[in-house]
Amino acid sequence: MKYFFTHIFKRKSSMGDRRIGLDQGLFVLSLIILIITVLLPIIMIVLRTFFVGTKLDWRLFPQIVFAPDNLSAIINTIKIAFFVTVFGTLLGLFYAWLIGRSDIPLKGVMKALFTIPYMFPPFFGAMAWSLLLAPRSGYLNKLFMQITGGSSPLLNINTIGGIVFVEVCYYFPFVFLQVVSALERMDPTLEESARIAGAGQWYVIRKITLPLVLPAIAAGAMLILISSLSHFGVPAILGFSNNIFTLPTKIYQLINRSAGSFQGIREGASLSILLVVVVVAALYLQKLVLRTGHYDIIKGKSMRPMLIKLRGAKIPLLTISLISLFVIVVVPLFMIFIVGFLKAYGLPLKLQNLTLRNYKYILGQSKMVKDSIVNSLFLSITSGVITMFLGVMIAYVVIKVKPRGKGFLEILSLLPYSIPGIVLAIGVILVWSGAFGVNLYNTIWIILIAYIARYVSFAMKSASASLEQVHYSLEEAARSCGATHLESLRDITIPLIRPGMIAGFFLIFLPAMRELTTSILLYGPFTRTLGVAIYAINSEGNTVQASALATVAIAIIVAGNLALRFITKDRKGL
Amino acid sequence: MSQIILKNVTKEFVTRGGHRVVAVDNFNLTINEGECFSFLGPSGCGKTTTLRMIAGFEDLTEGEIWLGDKPVSVKSKNLYVPPENRGLGMVFQSFAVWPHLNVFENVAFPLRVMKKSKDEIREQVRMALTHTDLIRSEKVYPSDLSGGQQQRIALARAIVTNPRVMLLDEPLSNLDPKLRESMRFEIKELQKKFNFTIIFVTHDQSEAMALSDRMLVMDLGKIIQVGAPHELYQKPVNKFVYGFLGLSNFLEVVAEKGNVYPKGGAHVAIPFELPPGIEDGEGLLASRPNEIEISPVRGSGYPAKIEKRLYMTFCIEYHISIGRQTIRVHTSHSNVFSEGSDCFIRFKNPRWYATESERIEQERLERQVL
């Protein structure tokens, strides 16, 4: 008995041991989960591409890559990504400068509008612009042909140029937000001291401001590049009808056409590897660019930067900005909204042609749509909660425990960030359709696993940001007051990062709610998601119903965003 | 000519709530050639705004600014010379050295803007770097240098074009105290060598007193007093200036028929001669802690009591009660009284501020902030 007490006492006093126990457990658990959800799918893709059974087979890969169809998809992908990155960066940069450094009015309104494209999936934009600029049926093209009396459309959205345009509309905020925040945090005296040294406004922009925000520009541009390279929705909606394929859409087509056959999956896997290689090359490029510019530009007392007076250019620039915002943000949303109420697609946009029938159908009669809404809500909430906790656990291990091998854990958790959704989907199929004795194919669980793998990077990043602000001493103070390690975690650390966790949940919930790329390869007869349902209805030609359902999705997304804003608004302390 | 003249300079801001705030109120000031002139005041008093108007970063609401015989801001004629054409040197509190350029490139920047030849640039940068003791760090990037060295880059960059006027916006506040003192000295040395006019903004009174030929104390956008450091220190016009320029005691007193009695203390007159024309009224008796004598000898001053004794590095600090009021007194370490003992104090150089005029002054200042 006496021995028992001293044993307990010892265990309690030597908290170091207990700490190692709990932390070690968390480390191993994180590692196992990440290996199963993230690493295994990638390994399976590599195995499928280069092995037949257990025999190494190098021939297939070059065969597939150099097939003319696939080669043109590769070229298209790179072409589109290149132009989207260039135009998106220029557009984002221009607006960032206008809002960050000029005296243009209505900055608040513009800034709020600029973040709207962020909220919606780009394929909504593709749908909306199809409604306007599809070569024969688009409203704008029809109007144009009526006026000119000819049969050639004003613009054809089903082209590479159209795809680039729509993607630019949705991806330029990456650069815009990065650069605006860099400009806002930048010490204004860096620019002022150049003015005093005799440099004029434009000289200062060229020699001081631009070089200083270069890291932000590069970071934003790389985000655009990677997003565009792995993007599925826009080229799928705008390109299929005109036989324009990119790597992601080609992979989708291969898998879809093969109906699960070995050869199809193998070809898809090979192209996936190629896509990953391209994305990793882009990431590496980003590292190279960012390495040259590692410095701190946030210093000094906060003072309003000197705004450049636009004088005569103010009104023209404001007009251009408002018009382009109108085109980028308002027009697509309005089109989707209004077409959702049309009796039939193609009817003139007049009051007598409007009806509630589409909503009645999708929300009342179509079981497929109802299923998809329920599925998406279930998937978004479940994957949001699970991934958020997973992210907290990994971030805790990486930041606070710092075990040997934390670098590996970090890389694993950030890996999905650079793996295109379509590739991840193939990996998940390869792992979870019986290869290891578990067959989840056609169930909702396979989508859930894919979502977790896809969003774990977001969760990990958001949790790290919160955890890094919780100083060691806070937890240590709890320990010194007699709390066990577990208690100090439960009572101090977790409550402190709770606002960050809630925000982290929404950062997963919102994109998961509109997810298309991964689910389109994984859905089964009863497991369509909202994105898949909209996409499917749209490609069946039921444009009005697709628009109505997209409007429903927009409403859900807006509600989620409002909730997120409401929650993050009264974050205290952290 | 590197005289700087401010005529009726006024700056108003509109706050987010739509209120108008007068940041700088009707400044009239002439800063002489070759002078080191300080703006001293608490934060938010408008000193930096004034400097930024001289630099050209802020436009005026009213008035004019002249650099030598050249007008640079004249509101009535809508004349405004942008900062890059004013030919000034400036050093900021945040150093503002460009992190993407190395030391040489930072200092060469103003010369490159002027499109000087390579040889000229090399020669002039070398000279500026030699004077700021940075010549061995030419190729180093600022992030690898200490705060003091970074501020020296900023100084070198400011002197490299040999400007006639140098604006210093709290250039020493981000440095540690030891470095601050040596940098003060360096700035003075540079001024001697290059003979430029300095306008120095600071909230640190000892910095201002050590550096300036003349200084200006301001509060809430108004000039309170202008003069040489010793004038301001010895004859502050009001309680604010007195309190701002050093440690101070303000004893509430009552004057009756030319005699001065502390409020709430023994009815014994404090040995003090009131300014001419004042016989009665309430006021404050201002004194510096190191200008008060304590004596154990009865009758050698006003009776008081030692409440507390604190040993400090330079002196002993006593908290001494006079009735219900307490004052601080600094004496040398040889002068030891025990806590609780009675003593007699004598003010060596006190100043009288009538309560009424202080109140009027305060109201005048506050009326500006609407």
Judge contact between A428 and A450, C-beta under 8 A: yes
B321 has which bridge partners? B305, B326
Query: What's the predicted TM-score (pTM) here?
Result: 0.80
Cβ contact, residue pair A195, B92, below 8 Å:
no
CA distances from A147 to A139, A142, A157, A158, A348 (A): 12, 9, 19, 22, 15
Cα atoms found within 13 Å of the Cα of residue A11, Cβ hemisphere only = 7
Give the three-class secondary structure for A246. coil
| CATH number for the segment(s) A17-52+359-574 | 1.10.3720.10
B57 at interface of A, judged by CB pairs closer than 8 A: yes
Judge contact between A387 and A506, C-beta under 8 A: no
pLDDT of residue A260: 62
Question: What token pair was written down for A430?
Answer: 């390869």
Report residues of chain A scoring pLDDT below 70.
Answer: 1-20, 259-261, 289-306, 569-574
Q: ipTM score of the complex?
A: 0.79
Residue A330 is given by DSSP the state: I
* Tens-level pLDDT at each residue, chain B (370 residues): 578 999 999 999 887 777 888 889 889 999 999 899 999 998 888 899 999 999 988 889 999 999 988 999 998 998 989 888 998 999 988 888 888 889 999 999 999 998 999 999 999 999 999 988 898 988 998 888 888 899 899 999 999 998 999 999 988 888 888 888 888 888 888 898 888 999 999 988 888 998 899 999 998 888 999 999 999 998 998 889 998 888 899 988 888 887 888 887 778 888 777 788 777 888 888 999 989 988 888 878 888 889 999 998 888 999 999 888 999 999 888 878 888 888 888 888 888 888 877 777 777 766 655 4
pLDDT of residue A480: 82
Question: What token pair was written down for A462?
Answer: 């958001």
Instruction: Give B105's contacts in chain A (Cβ within 8 Å).
Output: none
| CATH number for the segment(s) A69-339 | 1.10.3720.10
Instruction: Give A199's contacts in chain B (Cβ within 8 Å).
Output: 84, 109-110, 113
Beta-carbon contacts of A330 under 8 Å, excluding residues fewer than 6 positions away, are none
- A256 to chain B, minimum CA–CA distance in Å? 51
Interface of A with B in 206-265 (CB under 8 A): 207-208, 211-212, 214
- Same topology, domains A17-52+359-574 and A69-339? Answer is yes
pLDDT of residue A294: 52
- B83 to chain A, minimum CA–CA distance in Å? 5
How many angstroms separate the most distant Cα atoms in chain A? 102
Cβ contact, residue pair B92, A192, below 8 Å:
yes
Match 């896809």 to its residue by tokens. Answer: A454
B110 at interface of A, judged by CB pairs closer than 8 A: yes
Of the candidates B157, B213, B202, B196, the one whose C-alpha atom is nearest the C-alpha of residue B67 is: B196
Residue A294 phi/psi, 5-degree rounding, is: -115, 90
What are the residue boundaries of the structural domains of chain A, listed by start?
17-52+359-574, 69-339
Out of B93, B109, B158, whose CB is closest to A301? B93
pLDDT of residue A551: 92
Question: What is the tens place of the pLDDT at every residue in A93-136?
Answer: 999 999 888 888 888 888 888 878 878 889 999 999 988 888 87
DSSP A555-573: HHHHHHHHHHHHHHHT---
